[in-house]
């Protein structure tokens, strides 16, 4: 029987987990333990619904509704002095919840604080662009679309950024395998030589430990080169490595291996 | 006007060296390999280092050119991604013959540590390669040795003939 | 033509039937002065750029995807290949993020060695920046001089970890090795010479007429623009914001050493050049202070956390339980607690952040690399219009972008 592998998440999995193992948690502290953060949270809570908020590793995490994302970030930027958006991306929870988690990592230089604003959206649900507030979101949102297929509304130039325009699939989704799908495997061959060249060029060699004993021309067989296709069931003949060609170079004396001296006496 | 009479049989011999066309042409070719700057990633930095002060590539007559039309050696230094593959083929096609390719570093040889969806698993899927340099990143010394091996290969080839089509994979 | 292929020429340049004067210039993706694989589509009115469209992704190698399929220690050498000019700073960013997740305390000697590596890497990166930017602008001499000094630094690093470019010299929980016997002496020798070398570069460039023409009032980034585009590091400091993570959110022992943050309010290429030069001096100053600090520490290199970090070589070789634990940590990987962390460090290019979401497994559920160069490339969209073609090269030069980091 073939081993069952879940199709919704094809990433590497731990092959053994103890039955009684319980994952520990990174400590979360309440927002009230920090004066600056509790003020910020109060300001956000005044106008918007906050689903959850806590402090983890010195940074405040605020969960909001996805529809409020633009307004909350506007508030954070203009009233709460979070003047830089360091990072913005998505996390793929499609296998578990059918949702993406979007996080906005923000920095206030005057308060020296960082907060992370998070929200959940469904797979096909668009999210409003924050490019009007932070130009840095321009490229981040394009990357998010490229890598996850999250649709961003109100973005001036919604195109793929890292992958080519004619790429299929969104690489960072958990359903996308690390070494790519069929289209990815033949992408460059199809584009340059056409589909009919697939047979000539052959599939990609993804086995990192593979050594083709009969192909000494291409890789890592210095000193054992044989013509391509030659039969070597009895072992390859050794080709002595010479640093100079026969006949020699003008003014340069050829070094013969027979002239070499092996020094055995260490004190010589 | 003074007439100079030189007795070639006595005064140091004829000012003539006898050789074959192959040797002369290959001597010139192998000692002035102009390389296309094809730094793609980390190896490109080591390629620059081999051109810079300490390792000084000019000693070999290897000068980096920024145009494929002036160069005969392409040192593919770094990871070739699927998005870029098309361009390496374009630039390779623009190089005049005879031309050679050194694939520098594990990524260019086989995809290296980047066994992912976005990386071409070896530049030899796209262009024919003459020499593979192992390492991640190879040291400048490795590249220098590679160029010396290439010189050797050039000297061993026939100068007049058109290059045989090289095998792709 | 040796192989037939179906590539057709690009026709975007041949736009004769346009009614305006606009010419579209394709710059890259393999351009010698683009510092990597940057492709710029420039819309030109005569020599002036009216619209710039940077196209990145030519070095996208899928590092974030790799991270999701690798145990934490396995991913560490991959971070070397991000900003490959200063590899250790990436190692450090990742190691620090995982340490924050695990809540580990690193021994003091490891901290000192890490800081030495970080500052050496900063010097290497800035020297490389100076060399390439000067070369792009035509100052071949400075290129050769700066590379000469960089080679000394690479020798130092090589003495420490054995690699020139891709160091993997910092581990999660500390550093693998103590300094070589000769390291400090060599470092001292280098630091003695460095100020004179920096002065040499400045003598060559500071008042050089060509340099000034290419640098002054070219590529002016206003403070608002820098903040809005998420610029960090020297790009931000040259635009008048005094923000250095080493100073503001100190990690390691940066709060114990004495150094200044160079700031300029001009925001042009020349300001960035001066900031880089001054930062080199400050790095040398930090290194000077680290040497006595090194001798005051006890020779402990790795944090003690048997759940996550393997024991010392001696323990592994002599004690059964250390060996078993090492075996489990290598084959299965450590399992950090469930949670998420975003840690920013000041890499030579700017704020290098690692966002790690751990679900308690040996593989990160999500790892996001926040690389400064990504936004420093993005800003070209707004920065280049209005400039002339020759300015493009000097602007790309001073933004100091590295494509391993932009595309990841």
Q: What is the pLDDT of residues A244-255, one digit of tens each?
A: 666 666 776 766
Residues A85-99, buried b or exposed e (16+ Cβ, 10 A)? bbbbbbbbbbeeeeb
pLDDT score, position A64: 92
**pLDDT at C1 (0 to 100):** 39
Which of A217, A218, A243, A255 to probe the B interface (max B CBs under 10 A)? A218
Asked if the Cβ–Cβ distance from C337 to A192 is below 8 Å, we say no
Residues A183 and A99 in one domain: no
Give every CB contact of residue C108 below 8 A, 6+ residues apart in sequence: C253, C297, C298, C300
**CATH code, domain carrying C106:** 1.10.645.10
Residues B95, B68: Cα–Cα separation, whole Å: 5
With a CB-CB cutoff of 8 Å, which residues 42-71 of chain A face chain B? none
Judged by a CB distance cut-off of 8 A, whether residue B130 touches chain C is: no
Count of all residues that appear for chain C in the document: 408
Number of domains in chain A: 2
Instruction: Write the CB contacts of A47 (distance below 8 Å, at least 6 apart in sequence).
Output: A71, A75
Q: Is A60 among the domain residues?
A: yes
Closest approach of chain B CAs to the CA of C386, in angstroms?
Answer: 27
Strand partners, A85: A106
Residue A238 DSSP class: P
Judging contacts by C-beta atoms under 8 Å, the chain B residues touching residue A189 are 125
**Does residue C3 sit within a domain?**
no
CA distances from A140 to A86, A162, A247, A255, C383 (A): 10, 11, 61, 60, 18
| Cβ-Cβ contacts under 8 Å, A218 against chain B | 124, 129, 132
CA A134 – CA A136 distance, rounded (Å) = 5
Which of A139, A166, A170 lies closest to A155 in space, CA to CA?
A139
Of C131, C134, C126, residue with least CA distance to C146: C131
How far the first Cα of chain C sits from its last, in Å, is: 34
Q: Domain limits at C327?
A: 63-407
Q: Across the A/B interface, how many CB contacts are shorter than 8 Å? A: 66
| Cα(C120)–Cα(C391) distance, integer angstroms | 31
pLDDT digits (tens, 9 = 90+) for B26-71: 888 888 889 888 888 888 899 988 988 888 888 888 888 888 888 9
Residue C30 lies in a domain: no
Q: Are A35 and A119 found together in one domain?
A: yes
Residue C366 pairs in a beta bridge with: C357
Residue A245 within any structural domain of the chain: no
- Nearest chain A Cα distance for residue B161, angstroms: 20
Report chain A residues whose CB lies below 8 A from the CB of B117: 171, 176-181, 184
Q: Does A8 touch chain B (CB under 8 A)?
A: no
**Ordered mean pLDDT values, 10 residues apiece, chain C (408 residues):** 63 60 80 80 87 89 90 90 90 92 90 92 92 88 90 90 88 88 90 90 89 88 90 90 88 89 89 91 91 89 87 88 90 90 91 91 91 91 89 89 88
- Block residue for tokens 């506007």: A74
Angle at the Cα of A23 from the Cα atoms of A17 and A29, rounded to 5 degrees: 170
Structural domain for A207, as ranges: 177-238
pTM value > 0.90:
no
Count up the domains in chain C and report the number: 1
**Residue C249, domain member (yes or no):** yes
Q: How far apart are CA B39 and CA C35, in angstroms?
A: 9
Whether C25 is in a domain gets the answer no
| Residue A205 placed within a domain | yes
Interchain CB distance below 8 Å, B84 and C59: yes
CA-based torsion, A130, A135, A137, A141: positive or negative = positive
Q: Would you say residue C50 lies in a domain?
A: no
Instruction: Give how far A260 is from chain B: nearest CA, Å.
Output: 21
Q: Which residues of B touch C65 (CB under 8 A)?
A: 116-117
Would you give the distance in Å from CA A32 to the centre of its chain? 36
Residue A6 in any domain: the answer is no
Inter-chain Cβ pairs, chain A and chain C, closer than 8 A = 140
Pair (A35, A120) in one structural domain: yes
Residues A119 and A181 in one domain: no
Q: Residue A80 falls within a domain, yes or no? A: yes
Residue C2 has a pLDDT of: 46
Instruction: Inform me whether the C-beta atom of residue A149 falls under 8 Å from chain B C-beta atoms.
Output: no
Q: Specify the pLDDT at position B169.
A: 43
Which residues, given as ranges, of chain A have pLDDT below 50? none
For chain C, say whether A256 makes contact (Cβ under 8 Å): no
pLDDT, position C29 = 83
């Amino acid at each position: 029987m073939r081993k069952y592998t879940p199709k919704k998440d094809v990433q590497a999995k731990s092959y053994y987990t103890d039955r009684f193992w319980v994952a520990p948690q990174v400590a979360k502290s309440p927002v009230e333990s920090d004066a600056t953060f509790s003020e910020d949270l109060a300001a956000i809570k005044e106008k918007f619904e906050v689903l959850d908020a806590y402090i983890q590793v010195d940074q405040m995490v605020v969960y909001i509704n996805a529809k409020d994302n633009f307004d909350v970030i506007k508030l954070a930027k203009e009233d709460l002095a979070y003047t830089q958006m360091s990072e913005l991306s998505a996390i793929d929870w499609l296998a578990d919840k059918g949702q993406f988690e979007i996080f906005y990592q923000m920095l206030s230089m005057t308060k020296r604080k960082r907060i992370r604003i998070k929200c959940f959206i469904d797979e096909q649900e668009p999210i409003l662009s924050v490019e009007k507030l932070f130009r840095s979101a321009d490229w981040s949102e394009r990357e998010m679309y490229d890598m996850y297929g999250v649709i961003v509304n109100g973005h001036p130039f919604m195109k793929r950024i890292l992958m080519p325009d004619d790429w299929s699939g969104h690489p960072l989704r958990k359903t996308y395998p690390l070494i790519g799908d069929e289209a990815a495997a033949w992408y460059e061959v199809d584009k340059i030589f056409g589909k009919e060249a697939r047979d000539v060029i052959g599939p990609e060699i993804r086995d990192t430990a593979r050594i083709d004993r009969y192909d000494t021309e291409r890789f890592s067989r210095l000193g054992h080169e044989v013509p391509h296709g030659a039969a070597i069931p009895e072992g390859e003949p050794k080709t002595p490595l010479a640093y100079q060609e026969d006949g020699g170079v003008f003014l340069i004396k050829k070094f013969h291996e027979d002239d070499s001296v092996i020094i055995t006496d260490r004190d010589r | 006007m003074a007439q100079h009479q030189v007795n070639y049989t006595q005064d140091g011999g004829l000012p003539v060296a006898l050789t074959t066309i192959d040797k002369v042409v290959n001597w010139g070719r192998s000692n002035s390999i102009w390389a296309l700057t094809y730094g793609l990633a980390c190896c490109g930095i080591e390629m620059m280092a081999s051109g810079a002060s300490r390792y000084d590539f000019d000693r070999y007559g290897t000068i980096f050119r920024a145009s494929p039309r002036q160069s005969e050696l392409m040192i593919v230094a770094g990871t070739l991604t699927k998005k870029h593959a098309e361009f390496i083929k374009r630039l390779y096609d623009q190089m005049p013959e005879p031309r050679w390719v050194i694939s520098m570093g594990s990524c260019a040889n086989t995809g290296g540590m980047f066994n992912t969806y976005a990386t071409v698993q070896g530049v030899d899927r796209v262009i024919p390669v003459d020499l593979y340099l192992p390492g991640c990143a190879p040291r400048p010394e490795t590249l220098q040795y590679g160029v010396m091996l290439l010189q050797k290969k050039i000297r061993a080839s026939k100068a007049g003939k058109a290059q045989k089509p090289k095998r792709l994979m | 033509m040796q192989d037939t292929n179906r590539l057709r020429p690009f026709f975007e340049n041949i736009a004769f039937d346009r009614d305006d004067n606009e010419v579209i210039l394709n710059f890259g993706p393999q351009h010698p002065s683009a510092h990597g694989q940057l492709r710029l589509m420039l819309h030109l009115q005569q020599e002036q750029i009216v619209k710039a469209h940077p196209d990145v992704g030519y070095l996208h190698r899928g590092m974030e995807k790799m991270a999701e399929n690798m145990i934490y220690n396995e991913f560490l050498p991959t971070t070397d290949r991000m900003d490959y000019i200063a590899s250790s700073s990436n190692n450090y960013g990742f190691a620090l993020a995982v340490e924050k997740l695990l809540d580990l305390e690193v021994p003091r000697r490891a901290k000192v060695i890490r800081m030495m590596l970080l500052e050496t890497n900063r010097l290497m990166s800035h020297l490389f920046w100076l060399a390439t930017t000067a070369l792009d602008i035509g100052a071949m001499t400075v290129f050769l001089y700066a590379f000469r000094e960089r080679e000394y630094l690479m020798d130092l690093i090589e003495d420490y970890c054995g690699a020139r470019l891709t160091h993997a010299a910092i581990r999660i929980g500390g550093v693998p090795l103590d300094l070589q016997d000769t390291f400090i002496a060599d470092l001292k020798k280098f630091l003695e010479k460095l100020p004179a070398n920096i002065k040499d570069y400045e003598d060559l460039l500071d008042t050089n007429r060509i340099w000034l023409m290419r640098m002054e009032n070219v590529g002016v980034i206003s403070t608002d623009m820098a903040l809005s585009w998420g610029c960090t590091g020297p790009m931000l400091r040259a635009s008048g914001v005094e923000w250095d993570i080493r100073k503001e959110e100190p990690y390691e022992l940066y709060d114990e050493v004495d150094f200044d943050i160079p700031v300029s309010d001009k925001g042009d290429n020349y300001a960035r050049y001066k900031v880089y030069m001054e930062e080199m001096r400050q790095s040398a100053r930090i290194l000077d202070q680290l040497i006595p600090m090194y001798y005051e520490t006890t020779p402990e290199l790795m944090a003690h956390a048997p759940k996550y970090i393997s024991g010392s070589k001696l323990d592994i070789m002599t004690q059964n339980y250390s060996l078993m634990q090492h075996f489990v940590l290598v084959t299965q990987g450590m399992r950090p607690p469930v949670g998420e962390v975003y840690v920013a460090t000041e890499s030579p290019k700017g704020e290098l952040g690692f966002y790690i979401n751990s679900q308690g497994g040996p593989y990160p559920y999500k790892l996001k690399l926040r690389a400064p160069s990504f936004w420093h490339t993005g800003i070209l969209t707004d920065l280049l219009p209005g400039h002339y073609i020759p300015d493009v090269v000097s602007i790309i030069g001073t933004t100091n972008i590295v494509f391993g980091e932009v595309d990841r």
